[in-house]
Structure 1
Amino acid sequence: MPIDIVTKPEQEISSSEIRLKVNPLTLSFCDEFEHLEDRFHHHYFKANLTVLRIIHVIAILFYGLTGIPENILFPEALPVLWAIRYCAVIPIFFIGLGFSFTRYYEKCWYLISAIYILATGCGFILMIILGPKPQIYAYYVGIIICLFFGYTFARERFLHATIAGCSLVAIYFLSSVFIVDTPPKILLFNMMYMFIANFLGMIICCSIEYTARRDFILVHLYKDEKEKVAAANRDLEERVNTRTMDLTQTNQRLKEEIKAHRIAQQQKEELEASLSRAQKMESLGTMAGGVAHDLNNILTGVVSYPDLLLTDVPKDSSFRDALLTIKNSGEKAAAIVQDLLTLARRGVAISTVVNLNSIIEDYFKSPEFLKLQSFHPNVEYKIDLSCDLKNIMGSGIHLSKAIMNLVSNAAESMPSGGTIEVTTKNVEINSPISGYEDTRYGSYNLVTVSDTGVGIAMEEMDRIFEPFYTKKVMGRSGTGLGMAVVWGTVHDHNGYIEIKSKLGKGSTFMLYLPKTDRQQSGAKESISLKQIHGNGESILVVDDVNEQRDIARQILTKLGYSVTTTSSGEDAVNYMRQHTADLVILDMIMDPGIDGLETYRQILEYHPMQKAIVASGFSETSRVEEMLQLGAGEYVRKPYTLEKIGMAVKSALDN
């Protein structure tokens, strides 16, 4: 329910004038003030964090020092009592104290405080159970102290403290009746005082939280109301001052407002155009993603079968060149599919620490660049790379493809020759980037690709990132996906693109990519087929496409594994009910029926430690990530190659 506030002219509102309406069971704010609940808990945590840490120390000292007399009172039971006290309960407080210095503590400090109440109280209950009778019955006093400590000092929330306190009383009662066999008179006496202590603690805890909530409303909510009044007064004063200005100033202000309105309207139109472009890209990307999924499944036969056959064909065979041609053609087609996945903004599957200088240097040494040079002999290339360029998190393959597309487009824009300059440097973004409504400020890598070509007309500027929009000859110099791939890659890396161009003068593309402080790992060693050969381990392949199952079976059999295949998730689950497998390879998307994630979940019910890897012709999704979190080893993108699937299987089996 809302808070009723009664105001009087030129007077402050006192706490007596506020009638706080809260849920009687949980003390949570009700109705229109319900949205303040999270703010209250954050404020309550910040206000009590230092006290909470001090309480940890007090609790450790209290629980530790009270164990010293046990050396005199119960020497025969000392190992048991001290084990509970110093090896179980006190370490819990130490762990909690350390955890209070992490950023996760705020999310679960209520639960932790409730655990303290249960842990300390249950520690005393264990002492009563295991200690010498009847003297140890007096330890119920320790439970009462725990209750008061938890209800008052610990700043525990009323709801959590009540649940913990009542649970502790119930545990003591059940233990005393069914485990310790406490004499009825002692049990009645102890339970009476424990119930009273718990009830009083509940009242105190309720009062503490209620008072804190009331103070929060007074300090924060009322402060907001006063700010609104002050803002309204300032606005009124400004309007009064504005209306007293002379005619000249009024006319000047009107001109400025008209100019500002025009600028705002222009910015609005630019943002609307940017939004429309993004929506169009997303729509086309969804279509491209689905097409890419189907093409990857088809290309598996073109890439995987030649790869498999080449292991059996002699090096001097006349078929070897033909098989290599088929495989290379399939890999080129797979590269175009990856462009479609990047367009769909589902292509950055692997994010590692990379350095853009290395990516750019590698591109300018690549066969693709040498081929570009041969097509454009009159183009001069300049590279100016910052020597202290920071690393970024991303996919080296996709970033290299983006650089390649930008350089290729720049060369295409200079049919009579010219200069292309590629530069990198570290920059700080502290103002919005043109074309982006929300710009995340911070440290970035800036990659600039400039040319002295024909430039881009204004009417074309909004379309250059559209898929299949190109002035190149389709099939000879491009697919129409180049700039769309650049756009998708930069946005997948949480970056920004800025374009500056003048007709007849050239164009400049500026790519802003967020930097990271992480360092690159060492280069990977090459893997031989002998290293990925199996030892007869059993593998279950689950795929709804017959060709995919057959290819996977042949490759894995070639690598020395015992392979079984099923055509659906349901068949795989039925098979695993009666059999076992060292590894399960699951296709992510299977239609009709359950997908790879649901299949793996059901298999885990029968084989909780089942090893698995994920295979898909689409890309990594949230469901793939969820499957990896459940325990799947790796993600393998189709089409398969002998080395790729062999390394994934070997890695999963070895872990």
Structure 2
Amino acid sequence: MPPQGLGQGCFPAKPRTRGGPCRNGGIEAMTRSAIKGKTDPSPRSMDLKEDKDQRRSGGRSRTSEERLKASERKYRALVESIPDIIFSLAPDGSFHYIGPRWKKILNHEDQEVLGKYFIDFAPPEEHRYLIQVFKEVRDHRQSVENIPLRLRHRDGTYRYFSGSAAPLRDGRGRVIGTIGIARDITEQKKLEEQLLQAQKMESIGNLAGGIAHDFNNLLSGILGYASFVKKKMSPRNPLYHSIQNIQRSAEQAADLVKQLLGFARKGKYEVKPVNINTLVQEVARFLKRTLDKRIRLVLDLDPHLKLVEGDETQLQQSLINICLNARDAMPDGGTLSIRTQNHSLGGSSSEKENGARGGEWVKITLSDTGLGMSPEVRSKIFEPFFTTKEAGRGTGLGLSMVYGIIHNHGGTIEVESQPGKGSSFTLILPALPEAKPRPSTDEPKETLAEGGHETVLIVDDEEMIRQLGADILEDAGYTVLTASRGEEGLDLYRSFPGRIDLVLLDVIMPGMGGKETFRALRGLNPALKILLSSGYSTDGGVEEILKEGAVGFIQKPYRDEVLLKKVREVLDA
């Protein structure tokens, strides 16, 4: 403590202002002068010294102010360069500040946002959740991270965000608002949804394919025996029409299974160059006979459209299925538009969202002005048996088959729809790199199925199919041997060396499968004729076996005349 006579007032913690009872600057100056042996400075010299000190102090203030402005500029540039939305909220939750990214991402002006609340831009179903999150930050003084939310763009669509927020405190620790950041994850969300959808569709496809395969085996017995018995009956027989109805019902069931296989991408697939414009024109002719007269059909076809490579029948069926759905979505009439165009993909991120690769493509867009779909319905339209139609008006397999067919052709499907604003389906198929000569469309003349006297070995794990094949072929004069497993088929072949002319081999069997059995039989006789059979068509290794030398393929279920014709063709080849 200083001596009492000097008084504590002459040693304040901070220098006092000019004109006070004690000025540290003067005292310090005199002290320094005394130490240096100088005489006491005159009052004028002291005033000059104080003026210099003030000028130095003013310079320091200006320097501090410039530093503060530079710091502000630096942090403003930092905030504006961040790709996320930075915001602050007043204590009542209204926006007090928004960063420039809000306008870039959501296209709202600042005056349209400031003073409003998150719930003014969020969908109604998220309002209660957002209010709870805000109260947790403000009232419980808790920080939150990675909160999912959606905010409305100026165009009415919603974008996905991941938000984080923390309480904003004053110098005394009181909460005076909220600060936070929102990251746009819309593109990431789309990719995640597409991945989940692809995985779900793949799982459903595998399930559908397995069911279709087993169902085809059952239908083989029904359809095969119905056609076999019908052939032996006179049309005057009282049971003839009953058998005919059984056959017709089995064929309808087989068509249903084909749709399942189309969705599962395991259906029949005959590749050749296809002109999509020609297909659209054929579909248009069909639609003019089936559409309500209040529905207007508009075609916009690119005259220079490139060819695609695929199965003409499947692609045409895909277009018809979409058009029929459009018809049903316009009960009071409307417009159905079909547009074709060439399309080049550069492989950008937006183009890759649906799995499309760079290159030349053909785009077919089918749009209607119908009822449209909600996002929930749109997310399920490709699932088998999903339908919004009343009972008896649809199987729910039409769009599932379209999905399988287009993806089987290496293409993609894009769907846009809003309730009350119609729907638009865009099919994107890879274009042929160059035009190829189109094969003749002349159908080969039908030949009557003939019998024979050769020996045929049937290898199939389904007893009914083995028995059906034996009955049909034996009735036509063939000698038939049957085996329920690949191993048993090999044993039979070894037991009749040189006497078996043809093997009818099922591709999908437990134990030794069709591929292994084929190779083992060919190892015994490289020239042996082997005809493949499956409920999957060209899946399950069929293509690979055909390339290795199998002489043909027949898909289950088949009628007796189809089997007889195929066997005769193979034996005579």
TM-score of the superposed pair, with normalisation by structure 2: 0.65
Q: Which residue of 1 aligns with 2:339?
A: 423
Which sections of structure 2, spanning at least 5 residues, go unmatched? Answer: 1-70, 87-100, 106-160, 162-181
Judged with a 3 Å threshold, the aligned counterparts in structure 2 of structure 1 residues 622 and 333 are, in CA distance, closer, same or farther, namely closer
Q: Which residue of 1 aligns with 2:546?
A: 628
2:311 equivalent to 1:392: no
2:321 equivalent to 1:405: yes
Quick one: which amino acid aligns to residue 549 of structure 1?
A: R
Q: Which residue of 1 aligns with 2:407?
A: 491
Decide whether the 8 Å contact of 2:356 with 2:411 is kept in 1.
no
Give SS of 1:589's match.
coil
Count of residues in Structure 1 that have an aligned counterpart in Structure 2: 407
Judged with a 3 Å threshold, the aligned counterparts in structure 2 of structure 1 residues 510 and 304 are, in CA distance, closer, same or farther, namely same
Greater strand fraction, Structure 1 or Structure 2: 2
Decide whether the 8 Å contact of 1:348 with 1:394 is kept in 2.
no
Deviations 1:134-165 (A, max 9, x none): xxxxxxxxxxxxxxxxxxxxxxxxxxxxxxxx
Q: Which residue of 1 aligns with 2:132?
A: none
Q: Which residue of 1 aligns with 2:479?
A: 562
Decide whether the 8 Å contact of 1:468 with 1:481 is kept in 2.
yes
Q: 2:243 aligns with which of 317, 323, 339?
A: 323
Structure 2: how far apart are the matches of 1:389 and 1:479?
A: 34
Judged with a 3 Å threshold, the aligned counterparts in structure 2 of structure 1 residues 644 and 600 are, in CA distance, closer, same or farther, namely same
Structure 2: how far apart are the matches of 1:323 and 1:362?
A: 35
Structure 2: how far apart are the matches of 1:276 and 1:384?
A: 34
Quick one: which amino acid aligns to residue 481 of structure 1?
A: L
Decide whether the 8 Å contact of 2:194 with 2:354 is kept in 1.
no
Structure 2: how far apart are the matches of 1:565 and 1:547?
A: 11
Does 484-493 or 356-365 show the bigger shift? 356-365
2:302 equivalent to 1:302: no
Does 340-349 or 401-410 show the bigger shift? 340-349
Q: Which residue of 2 aligns with 1:383?
A: 299
Decide whether the 8 Å contact of 1:434 with 1:498 is kept in 2.
no
Structure 2: how far apart are the matches of 1:559 and 1:521?
A: 35
Q: Which residue of 2 aligns with 1:151?
A: none
Give SS of 2:365's match.
strand
Structure 2: how far apart are the matches of 1:558 and 1:362?
A: 42
Structure 1: how far apart are the matches of 2:354 and 2:424?
A: 21
Q: Which residue of 1 aligns with 2:489?
A: 572
Structure 1: how far apart are the matches of 2:565 and 2:363?
A: 35
Q: Which residue of 1 aligns with 2:95?
A: none
2:211 equivalent to 1:291: yes
2:79 equivalent to 1:251: yes
Judged with a 3 Å threshold, the aligned counterparts in structure 2 of structure 1 residues 526 and 317 are, in CA distance, closer, same or farther, namely farther
Quick one: which amino acid aligns to residue 283 of structure 1?
A: S
Give SS of 2:185's match.
helix
Q: Which residue of 1 aligns with 2:386?
A: 469
Decide whether the 8 Å contact of 1:357 with 1:389 is kept in 2.
yes
1:318 to partner: Cα distance: 4.8
Q: Which residue of 1 aligns with 2:562?
A: 644
Which sections of structure 1, spanning at least 5 residues, go unmatched? Answer: 1-242
Decide whether the 8 Å contact of 2:414 with 2:425 is kept in 1.
yes
Structure 1: how far apart are the matches of 2:460 and 2:558?
A: 13
2:360 equivalent to 1:443: yes
1:526 to partner: Cα distance: 4.3
Structure 1: how far apart are the matches of 2:345 and 2:282?
A: 28
Structure 1: how far apart are the matches of 2:183 and 2:248?
A: 53
TM-score of the superposed pair, with normalisation by structure 1: 0.57
Give SS of 1:311's match.
helix
Greater helix fraction, Structure 1 or Structure 2: 1
Structure 2: how far apart are the matches of 1:333 and 1:396?
A: 23
2:435 equivalent to 1:607: no
Greater C-alpha radius of gyration? 2
Q: 2:515 aligns with which of 591, 597, 600?
A: 597
Q: Which residue of 2 aligns with 1:618?
A: 536
How high is the sequence identity, in percent, across the aligned residues? Answer: 34
Structure 1: how far apart are the matches of 2:192 and 2:505?
A: 43
Q: Which residue of 2 aligns with 1:275?
A: 195
Which aligned pairs between 1:322-361 and structure 2 lie closer than 5 A? 322-361=242-281
Deviations 1:621-649 (A, max 9, x none): 35222322221112211001234333432
1:382 to partner: Cα distance: 3.0
1:276 to partner: Cα distance: 0.9
Structure 1: how far apart are the matches of 2:532 and 2:363?
A: 35
Structure 2: how far apart are the matches of 1:607 and 1:290?
A: 33
Superposed CA RMSD: 2.8
Quick one: which amino acid aligns to residue 484 of structure 2?
A: S
Give SS of 1:425's match.
strand
Judged with a 3 Å threshold, the aligned counterparts in structure 2 of structure 1 residues 335 and 314 are, in CA distance, closer, same or farther, namely same
Q: Which residue of 2 aligns with 1:265?
A: 185
Which aligned pairs between 1:454-465 and structure 2 lie closer than 5 A? 454-465=371-382
2:409 equivalent to 1:581: no
Q: 1:312 aligns with which of 221, 232, 246?
A: 232
Structure 2: how far apart are the matches of 1:355 and 1:602?
A: 43
Q: Which residue of 1 aligns with 2:394?
A: 478
Deviations 1:197-220 (A, max 9, x none): xxxxxxxxxxxxxxxxxxxxxxxx
Judged with a 3 Å threshold, the aligned counterparts in structure 2 of structure 1 residues 255 and 287 are, in CA distance, closer, same or farther, namely closer
Decide whether the 8 Å contact of 1:391 with 1:519 is kept in 2.
no
Deviations 1:525-550 (A, max 9, x none): 344343x4243222111111121012
1:437 to partner: Cα distance: 5.8
Which aligned pairs between 1:482-561 and structure 2 lie closer than 5 A? 482-516=398-432, 517-530=435-448, 532-561=449-478
Judged with a 3 Å threshold, the aligned counterparts in structure 2 of structure 1 residues 574 and 440 are, in CA distance, closer, same or farther, namely same
Structure 2: how far apart are the matches of 1:554 and 1:253?
A: 79
1:430 to partner: Cα distance: 2.4
Decide whether the 8 Å contact of 1:389 with 1:424 is kept in 2.
yes
Deviations 1:370-427 (A, max 9, x none): 7843xx4533333344444332222233222221221111111112111212232322
Decide whether the 8 Å contact of 1:303 with 1:640 is kept in 2.
yes
Judged with a 3 Å threshold, the aligned counterparts in structure 2 of structure 1 residues 518 and 534 are, in CA distance, closer, same or farther, namely farther
Structure 2: how far apart are the matches of 1:313 and 1:419?
A: 51
Decide whether the 8 Å contact of 1:274 with 1:435 is kept in 2.
no
Judged with a 3 Å threshold, the aligned counterparts in structure 2 of structure 1 residues 636 and 269 are, in CA distance, closer, same or farther, namely same
Judged with a 3 Å threshold, the aligned counterparts in structure 2 of structure 1 residues 437 and 527 are, in CA distance, closer, same or farther, namely closer
Judged with a 3 Å threshold, the aligned counterparts in structure 2 of structure 1 residues 496 and 654 are, in CA distance, closer, same or farther, namely same
Judged with a 3 Å threshold, the aligned counterparts in structure 2 of structure 1 residues 255 and 616 are, in CA distance, closer, same or farther, namely closer
